[in-house]
């Protein structure tokens, strides 16, 4: 596998090294030793997929509050998406910065999203299929998010929004002080739940 660091501390683009022959190709997409060599957690406890029928569909920006330590490895196995990450770790040198990468079935690349990041994507094709591997269990009591278009983040999408869930569209505005207090455990429910 080839690991390319992204501009956000701890985020990586992971590309398979393909062994190609007349049958097609073979490639490893997860290797605990290779992930560990780059300081990444490679033991995943859950895997999920999402099918997205329409081009322009937006999912996110999602995260889990501490004490969750959910890192993700995300790959688009059919079609294409514009994947978005926000560093939501107070104290990180890239706190509140974001980066976007294109993931599609032609490149087979994945993005490694560290714990403490917000994550979302917009489909750039119809019938996009997205695969997620997570390092922590989904915890509904810790699940939260922010709107993709919150001015605090400055994210732009490649397409108009065609579909977004009512939950994702209704997340409250990001308020840095209350967010940091809850992230650090100094406020019981100061930020959106």
Active site residues: 62, 132
Q: Where are the alpha helices (DSSP H) in the chain?
A: 32-37, 166-170, 176-183
CA torsion through residues 145, 147, 148, 150, sign = negative
Rounded to an integer, the average pLDDT of 17-38 is 93
Q: Are 86 and 118 in contact (CB under 8 A)?
A: yes
Rounded to an integer, the average pLDDT of 181-189 is 74
Q: What is the pLDDT of residues 32-86, one digit of tens each?
A: 999 999 999 989 999 999 999 999 999 999 999 999 999 999 999 999 999 999 9
The kind and range of the H/E element at 72 are strand 72-78
Q: For 121, what's the count of Cα atoms within 13 Å in the CB-facing half-sphere?
A: 28
pLDDT in the model for residue 177: 95
Place of tokens 């810790």: 142
What are the structure tokens assigned to 65, written together?
């509050």
134 beta partners: 46, 72
Cα Rg for the chain, rounded, in angstroms? Answer: 17
- Give the chain's mean pLDDT: 94
Distance between CA atoms of residues 155 and 85, nearest Å:
10
Domains and CATH numbers, the chain: 2-183 (2.60.120.10)
Question: Is a pLDDT exceeding 90 seen at residue 193?
Answer: no
Burial environment of residue 184 by CB neighbours within 10 A (0 to 12, 13 to 18, 19 or more): exposed
């Amino acid at each position: 596998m080839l690991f390319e660091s992204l501009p956000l501390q701890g985020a990586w683009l992971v590309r398979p090294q393909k062994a190609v022959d007349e049958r097609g190709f073979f490639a490893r997409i997860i290797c605990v030793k290779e992930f560990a060599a780059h300081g990444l957690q490679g033991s995943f406890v859950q895997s999920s997929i999402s099918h997205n029928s329409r081009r322009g569909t937006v999912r996110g920006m999602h995260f889990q509050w501490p004490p969750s330590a959910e890192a993700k490895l995300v790959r688009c196995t059919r079609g294409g998406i514009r994947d978005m990450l926000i560093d939501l770790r107070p104290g990180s040198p890239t706190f509140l910065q974001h980066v976007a990468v294109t993931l599609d079935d032609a490149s087979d690349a994945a993005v490694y999203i560290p714990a403490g990041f917000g994550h979302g994507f917009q489909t750039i094709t119809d019938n996009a299929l997205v695969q997620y591997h997570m390092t922590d269990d989904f915890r509904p009591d810790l699940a939260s998010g922010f709107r993709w278009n919150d001015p605090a983040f400055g994210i732009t999408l490649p397409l108009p929004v065609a579909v977004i869930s009512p939950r994702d569209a209704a997340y409250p505005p990001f308020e840095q002080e209350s967010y940091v207090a809850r992230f650090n455990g100094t406020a019981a429910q100061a930020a959106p739940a």
